[in-house]
Structure 1
Amino acid sequence: MERGTPDGEPAAHSGVSGRVPLAVVVIDGTGLVSHWSTGARRLFGYVKEEAVGRPAGDLLPVSGALPQDDAPYGDYDALGPDLGSSLDGRISYPAAGRARLTPAPRGHGRIDVLWWAYPLVGPGPERLLVLAADAARLTAAGEAEGAPAGHMERIAPGFALHTDFPGADELAHRLPDILPSMSVGESARIVAQVLELGYPVLEFSQHDRVPVTPDWGVPRRAERQARRRRAEAAAAAGLAPAPDTHDADAEAEDLEYAAVREHLEFLNEVSGRIGSSLDLARTVQEVSKAVVPRFTDVAGTYLREQVVAGEGFPDGVPDETTMWHRVAVEHTDEPGRWDDVVPVGESMPFPAHTPFFQCMTSGDPVLVPRITEEMGNAIASQFEKRDIRPLINHRSMLVVPLKARNVVLGFMILLRHRERPVFNDMDRVTGAELAARAGLVLDNARMYTYQESVADTLQDSMLPHIEPRMSGCDIATRYLPGTMLGRVGGDWFDSVKLPGARTALVVGDVMGHGLNSAAMMGQLRTAVQTMAALDLPPAQLLRNLDDLAQRLGEHYLATCLYAVYDPIAGELHLANAGHIPPVLVRAVDGRSELIDLPTGAPIGVGGVPFESVRVRVAPGDRLLMCTDGLVEVRGEDIGVGLATLVESAAHPAASMDDACDTIIRALNTRGGRKDDVALLMARLNGVASTDVGHWRLAPDPSEVSRARDLVRARLRDWGLDDLVDITVLLAGELVTNAVRHTRGGRIGLRLVRSGRLLCEVEDDDATLPTLLSAGPDDEFGRGLRIVTHLAKEWGTSRTSGGKTVWFELPLPRPRR
C-alpha cells in the first residue's frame, strides 16, 4: 500500500510498505495467553510452550489493556492513541501503544515493540486479540529508503476504518491470515469485530498513515543471490551497477518463501505431537487432532481392515473389493453433525471413479480444489440412504495416503470449509509429508499391536481354560503378564481330571522370560498332563519331569508344585520342586497358613529326590497356589510377600473370583513387580459319604446281574430315575469285561454323585482295554463301543493293583 495524503489521495513518494511481520497473541478472559503465534516467538523470544497459559502482562507491553480488579480492562490513559472505553469499564474500542522491553532470557538487548489490542466479545473464551511488530525493523526500512534521520522514530500505532483506504476488500480477505487456527465460526466472529473497530495503521505524522497488512515472509533467497551476483559482476567489469528497484534490505519479505517455512514449522510441530503411544487407536487420534483445525477443518481416517484387525502387514495393491475401516473423524463443525452420516467403526469399499480409489491405488495425494455437484453425487452414492452432499459439496478436498514400505495402509480425507482458502500445491506437498510421517508412526503402532496380539494368542494357547467346577472342588485362576518384561512368560497353572473323582492341581514357573521360556513351559505343561493322566504319584511325576527337562536342555530350570485332591477321602497329596509353598485356608475358623512341604530342587537340576506329604482337609477349605512373581519384589525379602499372601488369603469373599481379586490387589499395590504371575485357588468342597456307593463283587458272571441291581437301587435312592436305564447298561458292560479279564481277585464297583454321575469298575488286570472294530459275526468288541456312544466321557488308568475303567454321565436338571 502507499501512504495517503490528508485528503485521501496517494502521496507522490513511495513511502514504506504496509506489509509488516506481525506477532499474533490471543488472551482469554482471565488474562492468560491462549494462543502464541510463530511471529510472537520470533519477536518476544518465548516459545509457545512457555507462553501459553501465562499471564499476558508478564510477556507483553499491554498491561493496561488487561483485566484489573476494579476495571476489567484497566486504565486507558497510558495506552497511547485511539483509545476509548465503555460505561461498564470494558474496552469498547481498540487500544494501541509502543514500548521498549527486555525479551526472553535467551534474547539480547531491548526491543522496541508496536502493538495493537482488540477487545473481543462473544461466546468463545477469546477476550483480547493483540498484534505486535518490531519498530526497529520498520525504522531501518524507512531509513534505507532515504527518510530523514529520526523521522521513523516518530511512527506510532493507530487504527483506521478500512473505508479510509483503497483496496478494502483485499484487506478484508487477507485479515483471517493473521488469526490463529480456529473454527470458521470463531474466526468469523473475530474478523467481524476487527473490521468494525478498524485496521491497524502506522502513523508517521498526523497526516501520513499506512495500513498494516500481515506478512510472514523473508526475502526470496534466490532473487537476493541473483542480484548480488549481478552487482559483483558489474563491479568487476568497472561498470556502474544497474538501478535495482528491489533492494534486498528494503524489499517486502517474500510470501512464498514464508509459506514454505510456515509449512515446515507446522510439520515439525505435528511430528512432535504424534507417536507418543504405540496404541493404534490413540495414534490415529493424535494424527487427526494435529491437523484440525490448523491445516484442515475435517479429517477422516480410513485403514485397511487387516491393519485394524491386527492380521499383519497387508499385501498387494488395494482394489474395489478392499474394505476400509473408518477409524476416526475429527472436525470443527457443530457436535454430532458428522456422527450419523459417517460414524466411526464403519467398513466400506470405494469404487474406481472416486478420488479415494485413485489415492489408495497410486499412493499419491489427490487434490480437489472444489468438490463439484457431480463429484459430490458420485461420492454420496457410496453412503446409500445417508445424504453426505451437504457436508462435502463445494469444499476443498485433499486425500493423502498413509503408506509404509510402499504399501498403502490407509488414507486421510481432508476437507476445508468454503470460507477458507482452497488446498494448493504447497498444501498437497505438506499433506504428503505429513501422511508419510504419520504412516511410519501408524506402521510402528500396527507392528506393536500385531506382535502384542501374537504374544497374547501364544500365551492364551499355552494356558489352559480350566473348568470352574471339578469333582468335589471349585477352581478360580488369574494370570498377569510381566509389566516390564513382555506379555509372554513361563508361568502356568493347570488342573487334570483323575480317576476316583480326584483332581490334580498344578502351578509351575520356567525361569526366564520371553518366547524360549514360553516354549519350555508348553512342553513341561504337556508332559505334566500326560503323566498326570497315568495317575502317577506326585513325587514320581516330578521325578519324571526332571528327567525330561534334562533331556530337553541343560539350561532349562523350572519350579513346580503338584497336588492331588481326593474329595472322597478328604485329603491332599502334594510334592514340591523348588516352588514357593501353597497356602491353606481353613473353613472352620478362617485361619490361613503355609503348608509345610519339603522344598526340593527345581526341575532340571537332576540327581535330587522329591518327597510328598499328605494333608487332611475339610469341606470348604481353600487351597492357594501361585508363582513367585506375586510375592517377590526386588530389594525386599520374599518373606514379607509370603506374609502378605497368607494374610490376604484369609479375608472372606463373596466368591472365588472376588477372593482372587482381593489377593491380587493386596500384593500388586507394592511397587516393583516385574515378573509374570500365575494364581490358582481351589475350594475343596469334598464329596459326602451319602453321595458315594461302593461295593465289592466276586469274579463270577452271576455278579453282573447283582451289579445292575445295586446300581438301579442306588440311583432311585438319589432320585436319578432318568439315568437308571443307561447307567445300568453301561455298568453291566464294564463289570462283564472285568469278570472276563480278572485274574481271580475281587472286583470293585463305585458310584459317585458330584456335579455329574461317575461310575468306576476296578479289577486286578493291568492290561488296559482298547476300542475294537467289531464285525457282524464278532462275539466281542462291542462293550466299549456302546460306552463310547452313550457316555459323556470315559477312560482307563492303571492302579497299583491293576486298572480302573470309568465313565461319566451328566446329571439331569431338577424338575419343577
Structure 2
Amino acid sequence: MERGTPDGGPAARDAVSGRIPLAVVVIDGAGLVSHWSVGARRLFGYAKEDAVGHPAGDLLPVSGALPPGADEHYAVYDDLGPDLGSSLDGHTSYPAAGRARLTPSAGRGERLDVLWWAYPLVGPGPERLLVLAADAARLAGADDHDGARVERIAPGFALHTDFPGADDLARRLPEILPSMSVAESARIVSQVLELGYPVLEFSQHDRVPVTPDWGVPRRAERQARRRRAAEAAAAGRAPDAEAAAEDAEDAEDLEYAAVRERLEFLNEVSARIGSSLDLSRTIQEVSKAVVPRFTDVAGTYLREQVVAGEGFPEGVPDETTLWHRVAVEHTDEPGRWDDVVPVGESMPFPAHTPFFQCMTSGEPVLVPRITEEMGNAIASQFEKRDIRPLINHRSMLVVPLKARNVVLGFMILLRHRERPVFNDMDRVTGAELAARAGLVLDNARMYTYQESVADTLQDSMLPHIESQMSGCDIATRYLPGTLLGRVGGDWFDSVKLPGARTALVVGDVMGHGLNSAAMMGQLRTAVQTMAALDLPPAQLLRNLDDLAQRLGEHYLATCLYAVYDPIAGDLHLANAGHIPPVLVRARSGRSELLDLPTGAPIGVGGVPFESVRVRVAPGDRLLMCTDGLVEVRGEDIGVGLATLVESAAHPAASMDAACDTIIRALNTRGGRKDDVALLMARLNGVASDDVGHWRLVSDPSEVGRARELVRRQLRDWGLGALEDTACLLVSELVTNAVRHARGSRIGLRLVRSGRVLCEVEDQDPSLPTLLSAGPGDEFGRGLRVVTRFAKEWGTSSGSSGKTVWFELEPPRR
C-alpha cells in the first residue's frame, strides 16, 4: 500500500510499508520487566541483563509506564499523542497506542521518537502487559529535523482480518519471545490478535499493518559479523565489541530457548501420558506424544509378561527374552510400516544390536546415522521382510522404558534423513522422556496385575453352578463394580440337598476390596457346609451369624437363603437383611416381591431369624440379587426394585436371555458403582410319576426286594440300561442300613429329574465313612463301590436320622 504526500505525490519507497523493526517488552504484575528483546536493547540502549527484573518505569522511554515510579532517564515533551502510562491508567482491559517524542536527560544520548502499542494480558502466567515499540525516525518523511510536521503518523489498531498479510505477525511474534514457552507465547499472540492488529495511520486516512522487519536472518547476520571480525583480526584491527556482545547474546538466547523448549516438551508429554491406568491407552499416549515433535518414527517394545500383566524373572534381559511390539507411530505414508513391523509381533534381539545394548545397560543408545552395515544386521532379524529402506541412513535413538531400575521395554526413535540427527541434548531429553513414560507404564502394569489378581480371586470364590439341578434350571450373572479395586463381597451359590431339593443362596459382604472378598469366601464355605447338614433356613442363618461373631472381623453381610422342594412344590426362605426376592408366576405372568421377615444382617449378633414357606407351581421363576443391581446413589431404592419387578416379568426365550434383559433394564439408569450378583431359578418341579417311594423294614431279606423295586421302576421309565448299576449300588446302601440302623424303618426313593437320584434313609444319625479294606476283610467295600460307579454321591444327617444318596447319568439317546 502506498501512502500519499500532502500534495498528492508519491512518497519515498522506504516509507511505503509498515515493516519496521520492533522492540518487544513484557511486564509482569509488579511492574518489572520479564522479557526484553534484542530489538528493545537496540532501540533503548539497555542490555538484557540490565532490564529483566528491573522496574519498567526506569527503562521504558515513556512516562509512567506502569505503577508510578522514578522516571529519571527521560523528560517527555510529547505533543503528538498520549504516553503509555496515562493511556492505560484505569483502562487495563483495553489496548492503547501512542507516539512520544522524548528528550533524554543529560548524558543519555540522542532524542527518541517512539511509536508504541500496549496490550494488557490476562491468563494464568505472570505476564500482564505487552509493549511493542518502534523508532518513528526509521520512517522516511515522518518529520523534518526542525520539528515541522510533514504529515501525521500515528499508531492504531484494526481487525487482523482487514489485511491479507496480517498473519505474518501471528507467525513471527513468537520468534522474538525466545524465553517464552510454546503455550505462553501462543496465549500472548492470540490475545494480541483479539485486541487489535497494530497499524500505522498515515494522515488519518490510510492504514498500513505493522509487521516485524527482521532484516538479515539471524544466522546470516551472525555469519556476517564473524566474517567482519575475522577480517578485522587479519588486518590487525581491534574486534568490534558490539558485534561480540551481540554474538554472545544470540548464543545465550538460542541455548536458553532450546532448554526451555525441551522442558516445555517434557512437561507437555508428562501431562498427556498420565491420564489413564489402562496399559494399552498409556502406550498409545506415549507414542503419539513424541511424533512428530521429537521424532518421525516411534516403535515401542515391552516384555511379554508386562503386556500380559504378569510378573517376570529378576535380572538383566538376555537374548532369549521376548519383546512384544505394542505400538508403531510414524509420519510416513499410511501402511508403510504396518506390513514390515506389524503391531503384536514378539521377537528376541541379538547381542550385536543397539536394542540389546539399551535393554541390558538401561541407558539410551544414540546412532547418528544407521549405516548400511548396521542396517543389514538389524534387517537380518526380520525374515522375508526387508526393513532396510525404512531405517538406513536415518538417525536413531533407543531409549529404555524402566522403573525402579527394571527395564520394562524400550522405544526406537527414528528421524528422517532431512531432519537434524539426534544429538547429546536429544539423548538427555529422550532419557528423561523414557524415565517418565516408564514410571507411568509401570503404574499401569501394576494396576493391570492387581486387577488380574483381584479378578482371579473373585473368580475362584464364585462357584460354577450347574445350569440344571433336580427340578430346577439356574442362570447366574456377576458384574464387578466400576470403582478401582473392584473386587467385592457379593456371591451366589446352589447346594444339592437330600430329597431332590436345592438350596439357593445370595449374599453380600458390605464393603469392597480383598478383605471383603476374603470374608465372603469364609461365609460362602460356611453356608455350603451347613446346607449339607440340611439345617432349616432360619437355623442356618443363626449359625452363620454366630460364626461371623467368632471371626471378629467386624464385617456385616446380608444373606438370602431359600430351599426349593420340587416334589412338594414349595420354597422355604429366610432373610438376613437382604433385599427381598422376586417371584414370577408362570400361570399369570405377573411378578411380585415376596414379603419376608427382613431380619438383621449377619454379624449384628443376638437377633432371631424367621422363615416362611411359599407355594410355587411348575414354571415359576425365582429371582435373587444383591442391592448393587437396584441401588443408585441419590435415588430411592424403591425405584430400582420397581424396575426389577417389571423387567423380571418380561418373557424371554431362555434363562440367560431373561438375566440379560434384567441387567440391561437396571444398568440403563446409570450411576451403578457396586458389584452385582444375580441368580435366577426356574422352578420346574418333579411330577408324581417321576418319583418312586417305598418303605422297607430292617431285615436282610429287604435287600433283594429293594433291588426288584428299583429294577421295575427303571423299566417303567424306559431306563433299563441303568438296572444293573442301580441295583448293585442300592444293594450296598440298603445292606448298610439294615446292618447299622437303630430303628426298624428304612426308606427308599427314586427320583427322575435329568439324572436318576436314589436315596436310602434310616434312623441312625451316624454318617458312613470310607474304609480301607484289606484283601481278607469281609466288610468295608460298600462305599468304594458307590464311589466307583455313581456319577455323584453324598450323605446328610437330620433330626430323624441320615440319608445316603447317589446319582446316575442316563445314557444319551
On whether the aligned pair clears a TM of 0.5, the verdict is: yes
Quick one: structure 1 residues 804 and 215, their matched pair in 2 at CA, closer, same or farther if it must change by over 3 Å? farther
User: Would the aligned equivalents of 1:355 and 1:366 in 2 still touch at CA under 8 Å?
Assistant: yes
Aligned to 2:597: 598
Letter in 2 for 1:568: I
In structure 2, runs of 5+ residues without a counterpart are 1-19, 25-36, 38-115, 139-146, 154-162, 166-181, 183-212, 223-237
Aligned to 1:578: 577
Please state how far the C-alpha of 1:138 moved relative to its aligned partner: 13
User: Would the aligned equivalents of 2:121 and 2:130 in 1 still touch at CA under 8 Å?
Assistant: no
Please state how far the C-alpha of 1:549 moved relative to its aligned partner: 0.9
Matched, 1:686 2:685: yes
Letter in 1 for 2:633: R
Aligned to 2:282: 283
Please state how far the C-alpha of 1:675 moved relative to its aligned partner: 2.7
Letter in 2 for 1:375: M
- Matches of 2:428 and 2:595 in 1, distance apart? 72
Please state how far the C-alpha of 1:692 moved relative to its aligned partner: 1.9
User: What secondary structure is seen at the aligned counterpart in 2 of 1:623?
Assistant: strand
Please state how far the C-alpha of 1:402 moved relative to its aligned partner: 0.6
Matched, 1:796 2:795: yes
Letter in 2 for 1:566: D
Aligned to 2:245: 247
Please state how far the C-alpha of 1:657 moved relative to its aligned partner: 2.1
User: Would the aligned equivalents of 2:486 and 2:512 in 1 still touch at CA under 8 Å?
Assistant: no
User: Would the aligned equivalents of 2:559 and 2:577 in 1 still touch at CA under 8 Å?
Assistant: yes
| 1:539-554 superposed matches below 5 A | 539-553=538-552
User: What secondary structure is seen at the aligned counterpart in 2 of 1:645?
Assistant: helix
Please state how far the C-alpha of 1:611 moved relative to its aligned partner: 1.4
Letter in 2 for 1:669: T
- Matches of 1:539 and 1:251 in 2, distance apart? 89
Matched, 1:568 2:567: yes
Aligned to 1:487: 486
Aligned to 2:403: 404
User: Would the aligned equivalents of 2:23 and 2:134 in 1 still touch at CA under 8 Å?
Assistant: no
User: Would the aligned equivalents of 1:528 and 1:545 in 2 still touch at CA under 8 Å?
Assistant: yes
Letter in 1 for 2:302: L
- Matches of 2:409 and 2:519 in 1, distance apart? 39
User: What secondary structure is seen at the aligned counterpart in 2 of 1:467?
Assistant: coil
Higher-Rg structure is 2
Matched, 1:754 2:716: no
User: Would the aligned equivalents of 1:554 and 1:604 in 2 still touch at CA under 8 Å?
Assistant: no
Quick one: structure 1 residues 688 and 431, their matched pair in 2 at CA, closer, same or farther if it must change by over 3 Å? same
The percentage of counterpart residues that share the same residue type is 85
User: Could you give the per-residue CA deviations for residues 152-197 of structure 1, whole angstroms, max 9, x where no partner exists?
Assistant: x9xxx999xxxxxxxxxxxxxxxxxxxxx9xxxxxxxxxxxxxxxx
- Matches of 1:350 and 1:404 in 2, distance apart? 21
Q: Which has the higher mean CA deviation after the structures are superposed, 654-663 or 423-432?
A: 654-663
Aligned to 2:468: 469
User: Would the aligned equivalents of 2:394 and 2:417 in 1 still touch at CA under 8 Å?
Assistant: yes
User: What secondary structure is seen at the aligned counterpart in 2 of 1:525?
Assistant: helix
User: What secondary structure is seen at the aligned counterpart in 2 of 1:258?
Assistant: helix
Quick one: structure 1 residues 215 and 475, their matched pair in 2 at CA, closer, same or farther if it must change by over 3 Å? farther
User: Would the aligned equivalents of 1:485 and 1:674 in 2 still touch at CA under 8 Å?
Assistant: no
- Matches of 2:652 and 2:359 in 1, distance apart? 56
User: Would the aligned equivalents of 1:496 and 1:505 in 2 still touch at CA under 8 Å?
Assistant: yes
- Matches of 1:350 and 1:21 in 2, distance apart? 56
User: Would the aligned equivalents of 1:538 and 1:612 in 2 still touch at CA under 8 Å?
Assistant: yes
Letter in 1 for 2:341: V
User: Would the aligned equivalents of 1:19 and 1:215 in 2 still touch at CA under 8 Å?
Assistant: no
User: Could you give the per-residue CA deviations for residues 461-481 of structure 1, whole angstroms, max 9, x where no partner exists?
Assistant: 222222222221111222223
- Matches of 2:21 and 2:804 in 1, distance apart? 99
- Matches of 1:496 and 1:456 in 2, distance apart? 24
| 1:40-119 superposed matches below 5 A | none
- Matches of 1:663 and 1:408 in 2, distance apart? 47
Letter in 1 for 2:608: P
Quick one: structure 1 residues 448 and 21, their matched pair in 2 at CA, closer, same or farther if it must change by over 3 Å? farther
Quick one: structure 1 residues 109 and 492, their matched pair in 2 at CA, closer, same or farther if it must change by over 3 Å? closer
Quick one: structure 1 residues 628 and 772, their matched pair in 2 at CA, closer, same or farther if it must change by over 3 Å? same
Please state how far the C-alpha of 1:139 moved relative to its aligned partner: 10
User: Would the aligned equivalents of 1:592 and 1:646 in 2 still touch at CA under 8 Å?
Assistant: yes
User: Could you give the per-residue CA deviations for residues 583-639 of structure 1, whole angstroms, max 9, x where no partner exists?
Assistant: 111011111111121112221222222111111111111111112222223333322
Letter in 1 for 2:306: V
Aligned to 2:353: 354
Letter in 2 for 1:813: R
What RMSD, in angstroms, separates the aligned Cα atoms of the two structures?
3.5
Quick one: structure 1 residues 273 and 216, their matched pair in 2 at CA, closer, same or farther if it must change by over 3 Å? farther
Quick one: structure 1 residues 692 and 386, their matched pair in 2 at CA, closer, same or farther if it must change by over 3 Å? farther
Aligned to 2:175: none
- Matches of 1:21 and 1:418 in 2, distance apart? 37
User: Would the aligned equivalents of 2:21 and 2:214 in 1 still touch at CA under 8 Å?
Assistant: no
Aligned to 1:452: 451
Aligned to 2:327: 328
- Matches of 1:435 and 1:138 in 2, distance apart? 51
Quick one: structure 1 residues 475 and 355, their matched pair in 2 at CA, closer, same or farther if it must change by over 3 Å? same
User: Would the aligned equivalents of 1:20 and 1:215 in 2 still touch at CA under 8 Å?
Assistant: no
| 1:237-316 superposed matches below 5 A | 243-248=241-246, 252=250, 254-312=253-311, 315-316=314-315
Letter in 2 for 1:270: V
| 1:377-456 superposed matches below 5 A | 377-456=376-455
Letter in 1 for 2:243: T
Letter in 2 for 1:581: P
Aligned to 2:663: 664
User: Would the aligned equivalents of 1:100 and 1:111 in 2 still touch at CA under 8 Å?
Assistant: yes
Letter in 1 for 2:509: V
| 1:521-540 superposed matches below 5 A | 521-540=520-539
Please state how far the C-alpha of 1:497 moved relative to its aligned partner: 1.3
Letter in 1 for 2:545: D
Please state how far the C-alpha of 1:291 moved relative to its aligned partner: 0.9
User: What secondary structure is seen at the aligned counterpart in 2 of 1:564?
Assistant: strand
User: Could you give the per-residue CA deviations for residues 112-140 of structure 1, whole angstroms, max 9, x where no partner exists?
Assistant: 7xxxxxxxxxxxxxxxxxxxxxx959999
User: Could you give the per-residue CA deviations for residues 217-256 of structure 1, whole angstroms, max 9, x where no partner exists?
Assistant: 9xxxxxxxxxxxxxxxxxxxxxx99934323499645544
User: Would the aligned equivalents of 1:594 and 1:646 in 2 still touch at CA under 8 Å?
Assistant: yes
User: Could you give the per-residue CA deviations for residues 363-384 of structure 1, whole angstroms, max 9, x where no partner exists?
Assistant: 1100111222222222222223
Aligned to 2:78: none
Letter in 2 for 1:416: R
User: Could you give the per-residue CA deviations for residues 245-285 of structure 1, whole angstroms, max 9, x where no partner exists?
Assistant: 32349964554443333222222222222111110110000
Please state how far the C-alpha of 1:421 moved relative to its aligned partner: 2.0
In structure 1, runs of 5+ residues without a counterpart are 1-17, 23-38, 40-98, 113-134, 141-148, 160-180, 182-207, 218-239
Count of residue correspondences: 621
Quick one: structure 1 residues 249 and 362, their matched pair in 2 at CA, closer, same or farther if it must change by over 3 Å? closer
- Matches of 2:501 and 2:128 in 1, distance apart? 84
Please state how far the C-alpha of 1:794 moved relative to its aligned partner: 0.9
Aligned to 2:68: none
Q: Which has the higher mean CA deviation after the structures are superposed, 558-567 or 326-335?
A: 326-335
Q: Scaled by the length of structure 1, what TM-score is found?
A: 0.71
Quick one: structure 1 residues 139 and 423, their matched pair in 2 at CA, closer, same or farther if it must change by over 3 Å? farther
User: Would the aligned equivalents of 1:592 and 1:647 in 2 still touch at CA under 8 Å?
Assistant: yes
- Matches of 2:728 and 2:130 in 1, distance apart? 105
Aligned to 2:735: 736
User: Could you give the per-residue CA deviations for residues 276-316 of structure 1, whole angstroms, max 9, x where no partner exists?
Assistant: 11101100000001111221121111111221121247632
User: Would the aligned equivalents of 2:22 and 2:134 in 1 still touch at CA under 8 Å?
Assistant: no
User: Would the aligned equivalents of 2:621 and 2:681 in 1 still touch at CA under 8 Å?
Assistant: yes
Letter in 1 for 2:460: S
- Matches of 1:341 and 1:633 in 2, distance apart? 50
User: Could you give the per-residue CA deviations for residues 408-450 of structure 1, whole angstroms, max 9, x where no partner exists?
Assistant: 1110011122222221212111111111111111111112112
User: Could you give the per-residue CA deviations for residues 629-676 of structure 1, whole angstroms, max 9, x where no partner exists?
Assistant: 222233333223222221221122222222222222322333443333
User: Would the aligned equivalents of 1:306 and 1:312 in 2 still touch at CA under 8 Å?
Assistant: yes
- Matches of 2:568 and 2:287 in 1, distance apart? 65
Q: Which has the higher mean CA deviation after the structures are superposed, 429-438 or 658-667?
A: 658-667
- Matches of 2:248 and 2:706 in 1, distance apart? 116
- Matches of 1:502 and 1:275 in 2, distance apart? 55
- Matches of 1:108 and 1:634 in 2, distance apart? 46
Aligned to 2:229: none
User: What secondary structure is seen at the aligned counterpart in 2 of 1:795?
Assistant: strand
- Matches of 2:315 and 2:295 in 1, distance apart? 30
Aligned to 2:702: 703
Matched, 1:652 2:651: yes
Quick one: structure 1 residues 576 and 243, their matched pair in 2 at CA, closer, same or farther if it must change by over 3 Å? closer
